[in-house]
Structure 1
Amino acid sequence: MKRVAVFGKPGSGKSTLSKALVAESGIPLYPLDSIVYQPNGEAVERDVFDAAHDDILSKESWIIDGFGPIGSFYQRLEVADTLVYIDLPHITSYWLVTKRLLQAVKVKPQGWPDGSSALKVTWQSYKTLRLCPKFWNQDFANKLEAMAPDKTVHVIRSLSELNHFVSQHVSKLEV
């Protein structure tokens, strides 16, 4: 495990899991939100993102959590040796996004760019969740399965599976 892509719907625990993998492995973490967005929460120019993304992919080891532009997403999946797809039920993802908003009243969620609005990010997450079935579907599952012979692929479909994955791969973490 040297190049790890962690991905899934908004609010699925990607950042928490990625940080735990970093703590256990020492592999550098590159959260996509910090590459896609400026510190004020505004999106960076696409060429700036592409250059930063290509630079990360050229490194010997990395953990990248998030989705980003579709072309870069598939590029990352091709280069990664380990894929962790968190595919929680939609209702669970909606609940986790809502829970994150409620917690954001007190503390900025980990991985959020400075200056980003909790309401704006949550609204965007809800909009993205509504569109997720158009992407996270059987066609995507087939593409992921086609990649499986050359990679280690983990598909996590429930919070209990997520907790089990964490307990197997990371010590001393609660999700």
Structure 2
Amino acid sequence: MKRVMIIGQPGAGKSWLARRMGEITHLPVAHIDAIHWAPGWVERSRSEKDRLCAEIHARPEWIFEGGHSTTWGERLARADTVIWLDLPTGLRLGRVAWRSLRHWGRSRPELPPGCPERFDPAFLRFIWRTRRTMRSKLSWFYERVPPEKDRHRLRSRREVAAYLSGLSQAVSAGNLGLPHR
């Protein structure tokens, strides 16, 4: 495990999982929100996002969470592990609302400075409106992950906890081929 791609719909817990996996494995973590947004909630151009994603893909090690699906082919080609967080819509909506309250007025750890958390009803509507189409797109992508890659589809909090527990045990036993840090 040297390059991990984490995908999922908004509120699935991609950023949290990436941070937690980074703590366990000591692999560097990249968040798509830090690429998508510049300070002050300014959306970067597509070409800028493509360039920043390519820089991360070229690195020897990473845990890269999030979207920008136009670069997924390149990311998948470099990844050795793919994790799809496929959690229920209601749970995801609740998480997005909770993180808005928890980080209100401050930038979340995965965002650049100057992007204070806010309550965004349009974002909640987007999550609801795209719940089926985005899930279909993720399913289509996940089914095309080559068999030689390690892949995990996690559908509940319990499955995420079990995955992290197994990862922690494997790292402790030295079974992942991770560099010693």
TM > 0.5 fold call: yes
> What are the within-5 Å matches in structure 2 for residues 59-74 of structure 1?
59-68=59-68, 70-74=69-73
- Tell me how far apart the structure 2 counterparts of residues 36 and 121 of structure 1 sit (CA, whole Å): 17
Instruction: Please tell me whether residue 18 in structure 1 is matched to residue 13 in structure 2.
Output: no
Answer yes or no: is the 8 Å Cα contact 1:86–1:157 preserved in 2: yes
Q: Give the SS at the match of 2:5.
A: strand
Answer yes or no: is the 8 Å Cα contact 1:8–1:85 preserved in 2: yes
Q: Which residue pairs with 1:92 in the alignment? A: 91
> What are the within-5 Å matches in structure 2 for residues 22-101 of structure 1?
22-68=22-68, 70-101=69-100
Q: What is the TM-score of this pair, normalised by structure 1?
A: 0.85
Structure 2: gaps (5+ residues): 170-181
How far did 1:50 drift?
A: 1.3
Instruction: Please tell me whether residue 154 in structure 1 is matched to residue 152 in structure 2.
Output: yes
Distance 1:120 1:154, change over 3 A: same
Answer yes or no: is the 8 Å Cα contact 1:10–1:129 preserved in 2: no
Structure 1: gaps (5+ residues): none
How far did 1:170 drift?
A: 3.4
Q: Which amino acid aligns with 1:103?
A: R
> What are the within-5 Å matches in structure 2 for residues 62-141 of structure 1?
62-68=62-68, 70-105=69-104, 108-119=107-118, 123-137=122-136, 140-141=138-139
**4+ residue runs of structure 1 moved beyond 4 angstroms?**
none
- Tell me how far apart the structure 1 counterparts of residues 94 and 53 of structure 2 sit (CA, whole Å): 30
How far did 1:90 drift?
A: 0.7
Answer yes or no: is the 8 Å Cα contact 1:101–1:122 preserved in 2: no
Q: Give the SS at the match of 2:24.
A: helix
Give deviations 1:3-55, integer Å, cap 9, x for gaps: 10111111111111111111121211111111111022211122221111111
- Tell me how far apart the structure 1 counterparts of residues 104 and 4 of structure 2 sit (CA, whole Å): 31
Answer yes or no: is the 8 Å Cα contact 1:98–1:122 preserved in 2: no
Task: Kindly tell me the number of residue pairs found equivalent between the two proteins.
Answer: 169
Distance 1:110 1:123, change over 3 A: farther
Distance 1:143 1:111, change over 3 A: closer
